[in-house]
Structure formats: structure tokens, C-alpha cells
Structure 1
Amino acid sequence: MVLLSFDIEEFDMPFEYGRDISFADQISISREGTIAILDILDKLRVKATFFCTVTFAENIPDLIKRITESGHELASHGYYHSDFKPEHLLQSKLKLEELSGKEVIGYRMARMMPVDEKEIEKAGYSYNTSINPTFLPGRYNNLQVSRTYFNKENVLQIPASVTPLIRFPLFWLSFHNLPLGIYKALVKWTYKKDRYLNVYFHPWEFTDLDNFERFGFPGYVTKNTGLKMIERMEDFIAWMKSKNYPFGTFQEFLKTIKK
């Protein structure tokens, strides 16, 4: 099963590169990208999971409705994207359920940072997908963590997909920077081994980021964004469908594991 997911959040990434951006712009850019994502999913008739912060959800009620009414899953990405307290785990779950009218059973920590699994269980989540089981200098060193799903503290852990053996990460930056044919080959290798794929992206990737003065992003972040990203994602999804890889939400994936 292909677990395609999107971390939809207030677009605060320019702060990491020494740029200021208004809250209104944070919301509008992520909103634009979320609409582009939903249009792609509608066009190609696939389901995905949206990990959403409460801050963003409160500002896009129409898109939250569209996400749930289209059969996608809404999960928690925290209360805020740049601030975390343990109490936010439960608070974000309850608020997203209130806003959507749907049960929220999954969590992904902002920026895939570590989170206490006991706190995840206490907040009532069934699964956590906050682990990138690879080594990225200055960001992750999770080579000791299982590459595929496992249980911890009564919560199913579903790490982001990395390739067998060398643990090459298949996350959003790889998708932007590798030739698409090579990325597809790595996906094919990983899917054949694991029988599922867990890859994630963000709405701002589907917008025009080629303004260095405004955002401060290096070329490896902006490469193949905007319209190129839309075309690339449509190509990638269509390719996976041609391989008869089934798409599903994390909720649906959990049901297959429990059988």
C-alpha cells in the first residue's frame, strides 16, 4: 500500500533561513499548495493522509471539509508548527476532531523531531509516524531504528520510507533533487522489499518558491517546486498506479496489519 501524506501547516520555514514572513502569507501560501494537492488527488482518484496543525486547520475550514468529504484522512501535526509542549498532543487531537467531526488517530511531529512515545499513547493515538530511519547530518541519526513499522508503548510506529541496505531517504528533498527515473527505481526497490511505501510532502512545495530575497531558500529546496512539482507529482502517482500499487490512508493501513 502507498501511504502518501502531506504535512499541512503554517508556512514558517523561511524563519529557518533568516527571513521574516507574515502570518497571513504563511497561511495563504500553504492554502494555495493544499488546493493544488487536493486537485491532483481528485484528478488521479487516490486517497492520502493530511497531517495538519491546529493553527492551519483553524484558518482553512473549507479545506478541512474538502479533505474529509473526499475520503482522505486527517491526522495531527501538532498545535503549532514551531512550538511544542507535551500537552499539545492531546489538545491538537481534540481540537482537530472538533473542527473536522472525524476521529483523529495518527500523529506526526513537526520536522520529524523526537517525541515521547508514552505521551503519544497517553494522548490516545493509535500510530505515530515521526521517524526518518536514516542519517542526515545536523538533522537525524536514526540508523539504529527499525526501517519498517514496529510497536512501541502500545503505539504503531510507521517510519518514513528509506531504501533497503543503504537507507537512502525517499522523503520530499530526494523527490525534488533526484532525476525522477532514479527516484522511481528506488521506490520500486523499496516497495518490492517492504510491500508498502510511506512518503511525505508539504503544500508549499507546490507553490512558486523561486524568490531568494523573500524566502532565503537554497537551490536544493526550491528545485522542481511550483508547477514543476505539480507535474512531477502527477507523473509519480500515475506511474505507481500503472504498477498497480494500491493507495490508502494510514487508518486503512492499520486495518490491513491487524488482520
Structure 2
Amino acid sequence: MILLSFDIEEFDMPFEYGKSISFEDQLAISTEGTLAILNILREANIKATFYCTANYAKNKTDIILKIVEEGHELASHGYFHSEFIPEHLASSKKVLEQIADTPVKGYRMARMMPVDEKEIHKAGYKYNSSINPTWLPGRYNNFKRPRTWFWQDGVLQIPSSVSPLIRFPLFWLSFHNLPMFMLQWLSNATHRKDGYLNLYFHPWEFTDLHKPEKYGFPGYVMRNTGEDFISRIKYFINWAQKKGYQFKRTGDFAAEIIQKSRK
């Protein structure tokens, strides 16, 4: 089973590299990538989960409605991508539910930063997918956190997938930089061990990021973006389907675990 998810946000990543980008461009780039993702999912006839900031959703309600109308899950990615207070947990959930007229059960913290699980539970979320259980220099060290799903403070935790033993992350940067045969090998090994994969990406990866003067990104971020990344993800999905792997929305996966825990 593969849980595909995408973090839809105002594209503010260039600020991390000393560049500025207008809010209109932030929205446009994320929207371009989201539409490309929806095309990929439609062609493959699979469903996914979209973690969205309330800030993006309020400015692009048509895209949010399109996501839900096509059968995908809508979850929260906070209110703003680069600003957080605990109150945003509940307020972002409320905004998304009002726009899409559908329950929002999942949460993912921006940049996989730590978040108080008691506050997550208080805000009414059923599951949280904010942990990358590995070490990422300059970001976090989660080597001591469980690799697979677990419960904490009444909230189901669904970490991003990492390989067994060395905990090599199967996240977005890996899909840009590793040879496809290695991604397939790592995915097989992890799925065999855990029974599922939890993979996450961002819409802006599906746009052309080869603009160092505009974005300031290093080569490992720009590599295999835009049409190249669309082709890579299509190839990976096709390979996984031929292997017999099923794709499922994260909320459906969480609901099955929650239901079993009540028996």
C-alpha cells in the first residue's frame, strides 16, 4: 500500500535562500504544480491526500474544490506556511472545512517541524503525519522516533517512510536525486518491512525550478524538476501498480487503524 501526499502551500521556499517572490507568484507556482499532480493522479486512477494551508485555500478556493471533487482527501498544513501559533491548528481546520464542506481529519506541520500532540488532539484531528523519522542536518533529528505508525496523546502518528536499518528518507529530495532503480529497491525493502509507504511531495517540484537567479536553490533541489519530475513520478506510479501495490488516501489508512484499535 502506498500513501501519496502533497503539501500545498504558498511557495515561500525562495525566502530560505535569500530571494524574494511575490505572493501572486507563490500562489501561481503552487497552483501550476497542483494541476499537474491532479492530471497524474487522474491518468493513473489513484487517490491521494493534499495537506493544504488555509492561506492558500482562501486564495484558491477553486483548486481546493477541484481536489475534493476528484475524490482526494483534504488535510491541514497549518494556516500559514512560515508562521505558526497553536491556535492555527483549529482555525486552519475550520477554514478548510468551510471551503470544501468536508471533514478535515489529518494534519502535517510545515517543514515537518515539532508540534504539540496534545494541541493536535484538542483541535480535533484524528491523525498527524508530521514526523520524518530520520536525521536531516539543520532541520531535525528523529532517529529515536518510531519508523512506523504509533499512538501519542490520543492522536495516530503516521511518520514519513524511511528505509529499515539506516533510515534513509524516502522523501521528495530522494526522488529528485537518486537513480530510479535505487528508489525502487529502497521502496521494495521498506514496503516489505512495514507493509506500506508514506511518501510526500510539493506542487512546486512539478514546475521548472532551474532558475537560480530567481529562487537561489542549490543543484540538489533543482535537479529533475518540472517535466522531468512529472515523468519520474509517472514512472514510479506505473512501476508500483505493476508490482501490485495499491494506493490509498492517508485518512482511509488511518481510519482502518483507528477502527481496529476500538475492537
Q: Would you say how many aligned residue pairs link Structure 1 and Structure 2?
A: 259
Q: Which residue of 2 aligns with 1:44?
A: 44
How many angstroms apart in 2 are the aligned matches of 1:84 and 1:54?
12
Q: Shift of the alpha carbon at 1:14?
A: 0.1
SS at match of 2:96: helix
Amino acid at match of 1:231: S
Amino acid aligned to 2:122: K
Q: C-alpha separation between the residues in 1 aligned to 2:216 and 2:105? A: 35
Using the alignment, how far apart are the partners of 1:255 and 1:127 within structure 2? Answer: 9
Tell me by how many angstroms 1:65 deviates: 1.2
Equivalent position of 2:31 in the other structure = 31
1:256 Cα offset (Å): 2.5
Letter in 2 for 1:204: W
Kindly indicate whether residue 82 of structure 2 is the aligned counterpart of residue 87 of structure 1. no
Q: In structure 1, what residue type is equivalent to 2:225? A: T
Which letter maps to 1:151? Answer: W
1:142-182 C-alpha deviation (Å, 9 max, x unpaired): 01000000000000000000001110000000110000110
The answer for the alignment partner of 2:183 in structure 1 is 183
Q: Deviations over 1:70-105 (max 9, x none)?
A: 110000000000100000000000110001000000
Q: Give distance in 1, aligned partners of 2:58 and 2:208.
A: 24
1:75 — aligned with what? 75
**Aligned partner of 1:62: which letter?**
D
Residues 103-131 of structure 1 deviation map (CA, whole Å, 9 limit, x = unaligned): 00000000000000000000000000000
Please tell me the residue identity of whatever aligns with 1:94: K
CA deviation map 1:177-213 (0-9, x unaligned): 0001101110010001101100100000000111100
Question: Matched residues in 2 for 1:65 and 1:94: separation?
Answer: 15
Cross-structure match for 1:233: 233
**TM-score scaled to structure 1, two decimals?**
0.99
Q: Does 1:66 align with 2:33?
A: no
| Secondary structure in structure 1 of the residue aligned to 2:138 | coil
Q: Which residue identity lines up with residue 9 of structure 1 in the other structure? A: E
Aligned to 1:169: 169
Letter in 2 for 1:159: P
Deviation string 1:5-60 (CA, Å, 9 cap, x unpaired) is 00000000000000000000000000000000000000110100000001111122
Q: Report the equivalent of 1:131.
A: 131
Match of 1:243 in 2: 243
State the secondary structure of the residue aligned to 2:29: helix
Structure 1 residue 254, shift from structure 2 partner: 1.7
Give matches, 1:10-21, under 5 Å: 10-21=10-21
Spell out structure 1 runs of 4+ moving beyond 2 A: none
> Alpha-carbon deviation of 1:139?
1.0
SS in 1 for 2:26: helix
Corresponding residue for residue 107 of structure 1? 107
Give the 3-state SS of the residue equivalent to 2:156 in structure 1. strand
Question: Does residue 160 of structure 2 align to residue 143 of structure 1?
Answer: no
Output the amino acid matched with 1:92.
S
* Corresponding residue number in structure 2 for 1:7: 7
Amino acid at match of 2:43: K
Amino acid at match of 2:188: K
Is there any run of 5+ residues in structure 2 with no aligned partner, and where?
none
Offset at residue 251 of structure 1 (A) = 1.5
Name the CA distance, whole Å, in 1 between partners of 2:116 and 2:251: 21
Range with greater deviation from structure 2 (56-65 or 45-54) = 56-65
- 1:210-221 equivalences under 5 Å are 210-221=210-221
Counterparts of 1:60 and 1:41, CA distance in 2: 20
Q: 1:45 corresponds to which letter in structure 2? A: N
TM-score (norm 2): 0.97
Provide the secondary structure at the position in 2 that maps to 1:115.
coil
